[in-house]
A and B are shown apart, each in its own frame.
Chain A
């Protein structure tokens, strides 16, 4: 059995997924809420989107799955989209806030 993967590895993998509209990755946007990893390295990513009507909804889910599957030793990957808590800019990393607000 391979070594247990960590939440940090999952988040780092998702950093490769960039929203083409804003130009930042989903982790720095604060859209990834959690990554739950069981003993068999099955991963469940809990995330949100910046808007309910996002036309990239399913593509983003697929890209997150593909990115996490690239981690060596990972088993099944599931992505759950949640709307609570609702995303807002305070969840983004400081440099993102600054860039989006013209700083």
Chain B
């Protein structure tokens, strides 16, 4: 019989450092954001440094912390060894800081930072692969986890090779491989992980049932094929294969958005809470990024490419992650501090464990920031970009305050 037992749930003390570190890196990245302008390109070394602080320190850190909790839920078996996670977050945090400093000022630090990140991710991969071997019911989400981990391994090996090139002079054509690194990690791991997890989490929180899953099944196959094809296109340095693989990724993204629409239409829970509104902004941003992407690809327009990546990363990734933190963190705190008291004394509901005003401020400042800064990138206005970035920085302060408030809820002093 299907079982998710209490012993499968990792202790709060194991997961909470991921969320604390993730929220600090998010705050740091947002405070640094106004330093950039519309003339920054995806190949600037300072942009690369900032992107690693944001993507490794925030996106990956939160995904890994969430996976410590979600792997047993979605795979329906316990971790091979959840204690591995005690090693992941310090290595990832130290590696991220070293890489940030390495990109900004001391290139010699890059291989060391890259090595720490590589080891952290290999530990994550080892636990996930060994956990996958215990799975009996192979669902789409199980397949997603297996495929995303393979892409992550490829992506970080490519990334590490580039870190050696910058910091230690190893011969690697960075201009050729940086695209594969981005597609493998952002598309193959982050996006496909979100696709798989959303098929569990969105119906769970929205109480959606009875919807057709054909679009997401097709989306998953097409996107995985497209990402693999991009890697092969880079290996053989074929521009046409890379072009076709990007078209496949765009089609897959469209199918995924259609799936989200089906889940949205069948939801029983129609409350307009912070989680739901974050999903609306997140998926709206993904749709807008997808709308810009074909023009950027065909017209080879860098400003459109940057704007599309902006809405993908700062709109879709950020709002999906932050929105779910307002569900996951209260649940973990409740599970740790209140579940043993059920039936003995009055316990709070999860909705009571969200700081209403800071959460609202976080949402509105961040939403305004994404739109204003995105418009700045689209129209080449430095003032709009910096103004939007400042809004995002204020939103990040409220996000940090919200996370601290939720994690301290009911804590005995």
Contact = CB atoms under 8 A, between A and B. Distances in A.
Q: Does more than half of chain A's interface fall in helix, strand or loop, or is it mixed?
A: loop
Interface in A43-90: 50-59, 63, 66-67, 81, 83, 86-89
Enumerate the 7 nearest inter-chain pairs by beta-carbon distance, A residue then B residue, closest first: A89-B268, A51-B204, A102-B270, A57-B4, A88-B209, A23-B349, A101-B270
Contacts of B200: 51, 53
Interface in B314-331: 331
A83 B272 CA distance: 29
Q: Looking at chain A, what size class is its interface with the partner chain?
A: 20 to 34
Contact of B331 (A22, A55, A63): A55
Interface string A20-35: 1111000000000000
9 contacts: A20-B347, A51-B204, A53-B200, A55-B9, A55-B69, A58-B4, A63-B343, A81-B1, A88-B268
Interface centre among A20, A22, A23, A89 (most CB of B within 10 A): A20
B43 interface: no
Contact of B2 (A22, A52, A92): A52
A54 B4 contact: yes
Given A66-B343, A102-B272, A86 B4 contact: no
Contacts of B342: 59, 63
B65 to A, nearest CB: 15
Contacts of A67: 343
Contacts, number: 80
A83 B3 CA distance: 12
A12 to B, nearest CB: 15
A83 B210 CA distance: 13
Given A53-B74, A88-B268, A102-B270, A58 B5 contact: yes
B238 interface: no
Contacts of A92: 268
Given A59-B339, A89-B268, A54 B210 contact: no
Contacts of B331: 21, 55
Given A52-B2, A56-B339, 8 more contacts: A16-B343, A51-B200, A52-B76, A63-B343, A100-B270, A100-B271, A101-B268, A101-B269
B153 interface: no
A59 B6 contact: yes
Contacts of B6: 58-59
A53 B349 contact: no
Contacts of B250: none
Nearest to B1: A81
Contacts of B9: 55
Nearest to B351: A23
Contacts of A97: 268
A60 to B, nearest CB: 10
Nearest to A23: B349
A55 B4 contact: yes
A54 B204 contact: yes
